[in-house]
Copies of this chain bind each other. A is one copy, B any other.
């Protein structure tokens, strides 16, 4: 094989995730519309709060909800009611219980590749929530290694490859975020396949445009991955 290890991002690479945030954010917009705030302003204020809280709370649903609570307190000047606060906490419970819906072609592609190569799942976010989604996904048995990390940067990828004794050039990462899945892997000499998702959280789009366009492959959907791998195999 051309690669010793093929790794996949999870959220919006294997299963839908951003749609869940998007639906929840619509409910949050609706709640704040009764205080006279438009959806764009709500989104912008929430994003500002999230970025400020990232160093404290990290990624995931609980952080998202704590940021919503802060935002609603700030925007309403304290007029938000306790029952509205409870509604927002309940958003979190709905989110963690949501069904896991695989993206198209994921099941077949992952099963096919698992027969040929060790597969790893690398995801950031909340430990319990990511484990639960993996359980519900039905994909657990296809992955030999599961890595849930607090951040996806070059240093983490390098440490992870060192721990698993994989050379960067023998490592392939597949994901939907240039910022988290693609550029940090390319930066340490790894290979990467970028498969954009139709929705992307603004934070994942915060990348230097100069770094785009080289050093990685881009596919429209994960079903095209086996063919790309066969092509790379022939060229190797």
Contact = CB atoms under 8 A, between A and B. Distances in A.
A89 to B, nearest CB: 6
Given A82-B73, A131-B150, A150-B128, A66 B62 contact: yes
A78 B81 contact: yes
Contacts of A92: 56-57, 66
A106 interface: no
Total copies of this chain within the assembly: 2
Contact of A127 (B72, B76, B86, B149): B149
Contact of A76 (B62, B78, B79, B82): B82
- Interface residues of A: mostly helix, strand, loop or mixed? helix
Interface string A112-147: 000000000000001111010000000000000000
Nearest to A148: B127
Contacts of A70: 86, 89
Contacts of A78: 81-83
B66 A63 contact: no
Interface in A60-101: 62-63, 65-66, 69-70, 72-74, 76, 78-83, 85-86, 89, 92-93, 96-97
Interface in A154-206: none
Contacts of A62: 57, 62-63, 66
Contacts of A69: 69, 85, 89
Nearest to A80: B82
A58 interface: yes
Contacts of A81: 78
Contact of A85 (B73, B97, B126): B73
Nearest to A90: B70
16 contacts: A56-B93, A57-B62, A57-B128, A58-B128, A59-B128, A62-B66, A66-B66, A66-B89, A70-B89, A72-B82, A73-B82, A73-B85, A73-B86, A73-B89, A80-B85, A127-B148
Contacts of A149: 127
A163 to B, nearest CB: 9
Nearest to A93: B56
Nearest to A65: B66
